[in-house]
Amino acid sequence: SEVPGEFNRMLDRIKKRISKKIADDQKKGLRHDIDMATDGISRDQYEQICKYFFEKGMIKELFYTTIEWSLMCRVNQIVDLNTDAISWRNDCATFLFVKTKANQKGGKGGGSGKSFQHFKHVYANPYKPYVCPLTALALYLLTHKITDNKLIPRDYDCDNHVTALRN
């Protein structure tokens, strides 16, 4: 789907603010050779992006954005998530990760002989449903076909998500 011009203008404003902040910090000697991609976005910018996706019905983009933010990982790390990796503990959803950057196959790691398993906890946000990862997950599951327990289709190209933000 085509991204409207208003979204592009919002992203341009965000990029200008980030660039101004970087330039100001460089003048003050607080930054040296900083790459804008490693700088990230603010919570406010994240909320603006989520609100836009929510209001425009861009469910897939909303899900990917909120789950990336909540799990503190990149899209290329969530493409391996499947429905079996999600469980509930008390008042949160947990996502099981069995791979790390150093241990791409999962299984035994670090020479300890133990299996690597890491649960990340995700909580609901009832006050701002447009940034709530569990609302986004529910909407995504209701609107997208899940095959082979894969949350994200096997043929998904991580660049698709970035393109939704840039166009």
Say whether pLDDT at 164 is over 50.
yes
- Provide CB contacts within 8 A for 84, sequence distance 6+: 149
pLDDT digits (tens, 9 = 90+) for 98-123: 765 555 555 544 445 456 678 899 99
pLDDT at 102 (0 to 100)? 58
**Exposure string (b/e) for 34-65, b if CB count within 10 Å is 16 or more?**
eeeeeeebeeebbebbbbbbbeeebbbbbbbb
What is the rounded CA–CA span in Å between residue 77 and residue 8? 26
Instruction: Identify the residue with better confidence: 87 or 165.
Output: 87
86: helix, coil or strand? strand
Between 138 and 104, the higher pLDDT residue: 138
Rounded Cα distance, 15 and 19, in Å: 6
**Which residue would you say has higher pLDDT here, 74 or 119?**
119
Q: What pLDDT score was predicted for residue 118?
A: 83
Is residue 121 within 8 Å of residue 92, measured between CB atoms? yes
More confident residue, 56 or 11: 56
Give percent of the chain above pLDDT 90.
34
pLDDT, tens only, 19-50: 888 788 778 877 655 454 556 788 999 999 99
Helices 43-56, 59-71: crossing angle, 10 deg rounding: 150
55 pLDDT band, cuts 50/70/90, is: very high
pTM, to two decimals: 0.67
Q: Per this entry, what is the length of the chain?
A: 167
- For 109, the 3-state DSSP assignment is coil
How does the average pLDDT of the chain come out, rounded?
A: 79
Helices 158-166 & 59-71, crossing angle to 10 degrees? 110
Q: Answer for the pair 102, 109: CB distance below 8 angstroms, yes or no.
A: yes
Q: Is residue 91 scored above 50 in pLDDT? A: yes
